[in-house]
Amino acid sequence: MSLVFGTCAKSGNENIDARFSKTYEQIELLLSQAKPQPISLCAKAAAIEAYDHLRCHHYIPEAEQLVNLLARPHIKSLLLCHDGIANKAYGPVLPQISSEVDEDDISVKIVNLIKNHEPLGVTIKINERNGAVLVARVMHGGAADRTDAIDVGDEIQEINGITVHGRDPMEVIRMLTTISGDVKLKLIPSITKKQQAEKNQVHVRALFSYSPSSDSLTPCPEAGLAFLKGEILRIVNSEDPNWWQAVKVEFPLSGIVPFVLGNNLTQPSLGRAGLIPSKMMREWKMQYHFNSLHTNGGQDTQIHDSLSYEEVERYFPEEGCYRPIVLVGPSGVGKSELIRQLISTDPEHFREPIRITTQEPKSEEVHGVDYLFVTKDEFNTFMDADCLIDPCETSKNCMTGLCLDAVLEIIQAGQVAIFEADYRNLVSLRTSTLKPFIIFVKPPTFDVLLETRQIYNHKSSNCNTPTINDTTSTVELSPTHSVPTTPHLTNRTISGCFTPVRNCQQWRKVSGELGQEKKNTMSSAPSLSASSSLDNILATEIQKKMSLAETHFHEMIQTASRLEVTHGHLWDFVLINDDLPVALEQLSEMAYRIETEAFWIPRIWLNSTSNELNSENSRSYVDASVSTMTTTAVQ
């Protein structure tokens, strides 16, 4: 019996040793293998980009399947976890904070943390009276903030056993930035009580671009947050009246990459907190700047209000109640053509409200179809009743405007109102009643304008060699309308041979050849024929039109640049009309996104429902008088 038991025990020990040995070999094999490295540190951003691109190709089964897959919550959570692990955002388990009493009977706290390659996330200041090194601010989301043990006002006595009291501030900063791995800080707690973090964090839209590297007033350029006009920021700490802490939420819709502001690679990226000037600091800097230029104080206030921050909130679209689309831009950029083309894609869904005008109707214009023709007195009555939006004066000293009720009628019918507006009326257009989505139509570069806006029409058997040898030949220049590169989109019958003029040099070359040909003809023939005289007149007219078109293009580009500076904070998207079919596709895609996605809108738009009801009640009498007036005009 004992022999059998001993044999079994020996056999059992051998099996355990064998399992331990096998496990040890497997662990050794795993440790010897190279650790997997993430292919991307921002898989979620790549997935969002793919989602936005594939969503417009729902007619492809594979694309629709992938879009549905990327929209699932567990896939989003998986990508979020992937980015967190790839960026090593997981914090190490820190030991419990210990407090001890040193030889001077001063209460201190010892903070142990593990610092990787990221910054510690604190700024310091020196007490000039006693040379103490104090924590000036704790950056939201940084390593120090995650410990929840380092507070503003704490005095740093030691860093890894090295005394810092009385040292030069730059030396202390170098110690904090170069140290890595295990960090042990000896701190004297601040006397002031720690303030609780704000529960309701505010989101703002930046109405100006900012680069901390070019700001001489920033307390710490390395901790500053660079942003562009139109970016959404979340204010995470506003205790400092001059410098807020903010986190980027998303980039502007124009697709501009934020790092164009500078080459500082240490700038906090999306999700990292950084210092930004507060609204009070921004207004003070603007006031100082404008006072130095001897500007008017009343204008300063308007500029300050429009160039700081705008509180925003997410707005989820309501089905059947769509936001109107407003196009703004310099004259001749192609706003009307884009509107016409978009409406032609789906006339039952997109509609343009009819404008009211005091001008005399032309022979081909129909009342109620092209315009609503009214007298000047009736127009002034509309103006006094605040029933018109986008009122402006035309070049013929006539007034034109858009009736607010016409836009609301389209919205209430479950359709999308799309119209162009004068940039000077954008402030009055941006109301909670309409909640417009404003798109700035921007012209391309000068060379592209020459290529896409000018069409040379001639009749010749050889279209590649333009000649002017027929009295019926004409040259059409269209500086005020976008000329499509694919004629089928315009639903027009195009006759004749059209050759795009690529640039000024090509046109001048053609004109030079024509001039040389006429010169040779004149030298060979003593008398000019009637046809050659007409050709010379046509060539002169072409050159005049070409010169006028170039001047108009330069003015268009200059106007667009000026509008981006003065009114760029008022629009939601920038559309470059360099090629009409491409611009139309982008406009159509954006219109779809407005109907299906949430966008940031001014917070005041969502908090003014009661005001809207009061204003609607106050307009009841006005609406009645306006409808009567409209009926009279129709008769």
> pLDDT for 324-343, tens place per residue?
999 999 988 889 999 999 99
Strands 350-351 and 416-420: parallel
What pLDDT, on a 0 to 100 scale, did the predictor assign at position 608?
Answer: 64
Q: Which two tokens stand for residue 420?
A: 């162009």
* CATH number, domain 318-349+415-597, options 3.40.50.970, 3.30.565.10, 3.40.50.300, 3.20.20.70: 3.40.50.300
3-state SS assignment for residue 571 = coil
Instruction: Determine the Cα–Cα distance for residues 219 and 532; give it in Å rounded to an integer.
Output: 75
Choose between 583 and 148: higher pLDDT.
Answer: 583
Residue 4 has pLDDT above 50, yes or no: no
Q: Which of 125-134, 235-244, 417-426, 600-609 has the highest mean pLDDT?
A: 417-426
**Mean pLDDT of the region 576-592:** 91
Torsion of CA 208, 209, 212, 216, to 10 degrees: -60
Single-letter residue type at 306: S
The pair of three-digit structure tokens given for residue 172, joined into one six-digit string: 């202390």
pLDDT of residue 127: 81
pLDDT of the residue at 330:
92
Helix, coil or strand: residue 278: coil
Do 600 and 594 contact (CB within 8 A), yes or no? no
CB within 8 Å of 334: residues ≥ 6 apart: 441, 481, 482, 577, 580, 583
Model confidence at 364, pLDDT cuts 50, 70, 90, reads confident
**Mean pLDDT within 197-205:** 72
Ranges 37-51, 192-206, 551-565, most confident:
551-565
Q: Which CATH number fits domain 202-315: 2.30.30.40, 3.30.465.10, 3.40.50.300, 3.30.70.360?
A: 2.30.30.40
Exposed, middle or buried: residue 137 (CB in 10 Å: 0-12, 13-18, 19+)?
Answer: buried
H helical segments located in 401-529: 404-412, 426-429, 446-453, 504-524
Q: Is the dihedral of CA 83, 87, 93, 99 positive or negative?
A: negative
- Write down the domain spans for the chain: 43-86, 98-188, 202-315, 318-349+415-597
Say how far apart CA 350 and CA 346 lie, in whole Å.
6
**pLDDT value at 574 more than 50:** yes
Position 153 scores a pLDDT of 81
Do 393 and 379 meet the contact criterion of CB atoms below 8 Å apart? no
**Is there a contact between 203 and 600 (Cβ–Cβ < 8 Å)?**
yes
Burial of 394 by CB count in 10 Å (0-12 exposed, 13-18 middle, 19+ buried)?
exposed
Q: What is the pLDDT of residues 611-633, one digit of tens each?
A: 443 444 444 333 333 333 333 33
At the top level of CATH, which class does the domain 98-188 belong to?
A: mainly beta
Please give the mean pLDDT across all residues of the chain: 72
What pTM, to 2 d.p., does this model score? 0.58
* Cβ atoms within 10 Å, residue 142: 20
Does residue 431 surpass a pLDDT of 70?
yes
Whether the predicted pLDDT of 539 surpasses 70: no
Share above pLDDT 70 across residues of the chain, in percent, rounded to a whole number? 66
HEC profile of 510-531:
HHHHHHHHHHHHHHHCCCCCHH
Q: Binning pLDDT at 50, 70 and 90, where does residue 541 land?
A: low
